[in-house]
């Protein structure tokens, strides 16, 4: 919560109220980005161990 609050204040000049509202949109979206899923794990493994396959099948690591 502290990190989200600071990033929103510095980067966006917005008071996110993460401490008062645990369901804040900034926190929810931040968790979605960094929440590991099975598919994200597979993508990381492909990129790490078989980088040549990225040229054939472009895999995006950004949100699914």
Q: Which domain holds residue 40?
A: 2-56
DSSP 14-33: ----TTT-TT-HHHHHHHHH
**8 in a structural domain:** yes
Task: Tell me what pLDDT residue 56 has.
Answer: 80
* Averaged pLDDT in 10-residue chunks for the chain of 64 residues: 82 81 82 80 82 74 52
**64 in a structural domain:** no
Q: Give the CA dihedral 60, 2, 6, 15, nearest 10 degrees.
A: 100
**41 in a structural domain:** yes
Task: Tell me what pLDDT residue 64 has.
Answer: 47
Task: Tell me what pLDDT residue 60 has.
Answer: 66
**61 in a structural domain:** no
**45 in a structural domain:** yes
């Amino acid at each position: 919560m502290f990190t989200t609050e600071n990033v929103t204040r510095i980067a966006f000049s917005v008071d996110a109220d993460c401490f008062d509202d645990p369901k804040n949109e900034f926190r929810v979206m931040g968790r979605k980005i960094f929440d590991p899923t099975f598919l994200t794990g597979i993508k990381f493994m492909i990129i790490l161990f078989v980088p040549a396959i990225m040229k054939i099948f472009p895999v995006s690591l950004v949100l699914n």
